[in-house]
Structure 1
C-alpha cells in the first residue's frame, strides 16, 4: 500500500499517460486529451447497480460536457467484451447509450497508475475515483468515493464550471459557489492594490476578502 500511495497522482501533477483499449477503440491518453478538459472516472464493475446509475448519469449529461468542451473517459477492471455487453444491456433496458470511451483495464495497469485500487476497500475493483484534467494535461481536482456510495453529478458539474471560470477570470470560488453568484478576487499584494480595492465597487468583507460579479 505504501508503494501505491507514493505513485498516486496528486493535484498539480501532469496526468500519467497510458495506452489502453476502450469501447471506442485504442487510446493513447495523452493524445486523446490534448487541448481539452477531461473527466476520467473509474467504477468498480460492469453490470452492477450503483455503477449503472453513475454511468447513465454521465451519459445523460453528455450534452452539458460537450458544451463545456470536456471529454469523458470511464474505466473499470473488466474486459472490452464485458464493457460492450454492458453498454448494450443498458441501452436495451433504459435507452441510455454510453457514447464516451470506457477503458478495459483488465490488467489493472491504469487503475494502479492513478491510485484507483485501494486495498482497504478492494484489491480487485477500482474505487469511484474522479480526475479533472485541464487542457494542459494537468490534474486539477480529484474525488474519491467508496464502492457503496454513488457520486453526486451536480457537484461534478459545479466543480467543472468553477474550475473553468476560475481559470478564465483569474478568481477563486467561495463555499457552495454556483454560476451566477459572486466570486472572490485574489487578495492585494501591495499597499497600492489595497487602496485601490477600498475604492472599488467590490463587496468588501475586509481588505483580504472581496467579492465581485462575473461579467
Structure 2
C-alpha cells in the first residue's frame, strides 16, 4: 500500500490521541489543543454549506447549546468549503431562521483536517466529508466515533446521550446498559476474583440478575 493510499484510508480509532491541528474557522484561527482547554470537544463534519440536511444539523447543534455547556463541551464544525462560503451560509441561516451558528466551523478547503480524521471516504465521496462525529475528552483522546452517510442526518438526542454516558462512566467507574439515559440504573463492574464473586453474591445493595450482571442507582444532578 503506497503513502497516498494510506492517507486516503487512515481513520483514527477509539482510544487514540486526537490529531492536533491548526485551522481557519469562522471566529478565527484555532488550534485544537488550545481550544479544548481541559474540556470535552465534539468535532463534527458536514458535506457542504448551503445544503438542506447540513442546515438542519448545525441548527440542531445550535439549539442544544445549553446542553453542551452543561456537559462542559465545546463544538467544532468542519466542511471542505472556504471561509467565505461559511460566513455567507452562517449569515444566510441567521437571516432566514434566526439561528446563529456561533461555534467554530473549520474552512478545510485543503482537506488537511478531514484527512487527519478519516472524514473523506472515497466510496462515498472524494471531495465532501461524510457526517463524522468525534467525541474527544479533556485529555485529547478520542472516546467515541460516529459516521453517517451524506444523505442521512444525525440524531442529536443520541449525541447528547452518548456524551453524557461517557462522562458518567468516567466519573463513577461504571458501565451503561442498552438505551441508558440519565436517571437510569448503571452497571457495576463484574467481579474479577473468586472472593469478589462471593462478595457480589452476598451483596444486597444492588439489583442482581446474576453475580456478573448487577445494577445500581446513581444520584446524578
TM-score w.r.t. structure 1 length?
0.97
Show structure 2 runs of 5+ residues with no match: none
1:24 & 1:11 partners in 2: Cα distance?
29
Residue 5 to residue 177, structure 1, CA distance change in 2 (3 Å):
farther
The question of whether the paired residues in 2 share the 8 Å contact of 1:11 and 1:141 is answered with yes
Match of 1:47 in 2: 50
Match of 2:134 in 1: 131
Show structure 1 runs of 5+ residues with no match: none
CA shift for structure 1 position 199:
2.3
CA shift for structure 1 position 2:
4.7
Which deviates further from its counterpart, 123-132 or 194-203?
194-203
Match of 1:171 in 2: 174
Q: Give yes or no for the alignment of 1:214 onto 2:215.
A: no
Residue 185 to residue 48, structure 1, CA distance change in 2 (3 Å):
same
Q: Give the paired residue count.
A: 215
- Return structure 1 stretches of 4+ with deviation > 2 angstroms: 4-7
Q: How well do the aligned residues superpose, as a CA RMSD in angstroms?
A: 1.1
Match of 2:208 in 1: 204
Residue 203 to residue 5, structure 1, CA distance change in 2 (3 Å):
farther
Q: Give yes or no for the alignment of 1:4 onto 2:7.
A: yes
Match of 1:38 in 2: 41
CA shift for structure 1 position 47:
0.2
Match of 1:192 in 2: 195
